[in-house]
Amino acid sequence: MNAPTDTALIRMENAQLVRGETTVFSGLRATVHTSQRLAILGPNGIGKTSLAMVLAGRLRLSRGTLELLGIDVRNTDIRALRPKIGYFSDELITRLSPDMTALEVVALGKFSGLRSEWFKLDDDDHAEANHLLTLVGLANFGRRTLDSLSTGQRQRVMLARAFSGTPRLTVLDEPTSHLDLVAREQMIEALERILDEHHQDGALVMVAHHLEDLPPSITHALLMSESGQWYGSSDDVLTSETLTQAFDHPIEVHNLAGRRIATALRTN
Ligand SMILES: Nc1ncnc2c1ncn2[C@@H]1O[C@H](COP(=O)(O)OP(=O)(O)OP(=O)(O)O)[C@@H](O)[C@H]1O
């Protein structure tokens, strides 16, 4: 049975995170319901990756309230939440053994698993992993080891992994970084295919550096900056005016075939 559309999978109020001596962010809020897709953007170092880790149950807030999948994380062992939240990050790739096969990497996603010998995969796990590899355009790559894949192929394997087990919430931290123009497009197409065919009711959070990295189906945006934060529908937040304020630099946003493109203007 499908979850009701008003189910909040993320409810965050007045969130503050301190890491070491640094207050990374404070006063953040966001609510993400079933079927909503939230983009997180902002300048380098503003705390996007840290926030993605918080929303994926990898890091605890220092202050404020956070419910993930309807659970108040303050009184919860967040490690128990991790297998229920799909996650993509560069750091995760480095923790996987290079001799794991693409099929193992994807199938273990549903357990948040890093090593195949720790888990027993059944036929259903393999079937779902094969289906996800097909959706990301890697149908014949299941037996290939991670170290035999190109960067773009490896990132699509990790994308497939983030949706293994059909999590209700998936957090992607810059899935298009390090990719050339064509590989980036393949990644966005793969993401759209998964969202259409495997994740219609699920919620998505995606950190991106560029508007061009976002799939057209993004519904909401959180723009972080030194001068303030903007949170709302993507049409309201991802405008020339707000981006100009957030980056403290003139920026123009254009629409091209349903995708947004942002250009930082020269000031001299
Ligand atoms: N493990 C850590 N310990 C202490 N401070 C950290 C740690 N990781 C990150 N930081 C600090 O937190 C701040 C935010 O970093 P974060 O990587 O979340 O930003 P970001 O917006 O994702 O950056 P970028 O756009 O460059 O990827 C930075 O000042 C960074 O130095």
The pLDDT profile of the chain, 268 residues, written as one tens digit per residue, is 444 445 799 999 999 999 999 999 999 999 999 999 999 999 999 999 999 999 999 999 999 999 999 999 988 998 999 999 999 999 999 999 999 999 999 999 998 888 777 778 889 999 999 999 999 999 999 999 999 999 999 999 999 999 999 999 999 999 999 899 999 999 999 999 999 998 888 999 999 999 999 999 999 999 999 999 999 999 999 999 999 999 999 999 999 888 999 999 988 7
| 19 within ligand 1 shell (Cβ under 6 A) | yes
In whole angstroms, give the CA distance from residue 87 to residue 203. 12
Instruction: Provide the number of structural domains found in the chain.
Output: 1
> What residues make up the domain containing 90?
8-264
Instruction: Kindly give the pairing relationship between strand 203-207 and strand 37-41.
Output: parallel
Domain-located, residue 118: yes
Residue 3 falls inside a structural domain? no
CATH number at residue 45: 3.40.50.300
C-alpha closest to that of 86 among 147, 32, 160? 160
Label residues 162-189 b or e (16+ Cβ within 10 Å = b): bbbbebbbbbbbbbbbebeeebbebbbe
Stretch (H or E) spanning 94: helix 90-95
Of 17, 18, 21, 22, the one to substitute when testing ligand 1's pocket (max ligand atoms within 8 A of C-beta) is 22
Ligand 1 neighbourhood includes 226 CB (under 6 angstroms): no
- Give the residue carrying structure tokens 């057209």: 216
Give the ligand 1 atom nearest the CA of 51.
Answer: 18
CA of 248 to the centre of ligand 1 (A): 20
- Alpha-carbon radius of gyration of the chain: 18
d(CA 203, CA 48): 18
Decide: 44 in ligand 1 pocket, CB within 6 A.
Answer: yes
> What is the ipTM score, two decimals?
0.97
CB 159 within 8 A of CB 194: yes
For residue 60, is it within any domain?
yes
Ligand 1 centre distance from Cα of residue 5 (Å): 33
pLDDT reported for residue 112: 85
Question: How far is residue 207's CA from residue 173's CA, in Å, rounded to a whole number?
Answer: 5
The whole-number pLDDT of residue 1 equals 40
Q: In this predicted structure, what is the pLDDT of residue 6? A: 59
- Give the tokens for residue 100: 């794991």
Q: How far apart are the two ends of the chain, measured CA to CA in Å?
A: 58
Q: Is residue 2 part of a domain?
A: no
- Residue 175 Cβ < 6 Å to ligand 1: no
The answer to whether residue 74 is domain-embedded is yes
Q: DSSP code of 4?
A: P
Give residue 2's pLDDT: 45
User: Residue 48 C-alpha to ligand 1 middle, in angstroms?
Assistant: 8
- Residue 55 in domain: yes
Give the distance from CA 39 to its chain's centroid. 8
* pLDDT at site 267: 82
The CA distance from 37 to 207, in Å, is: 11
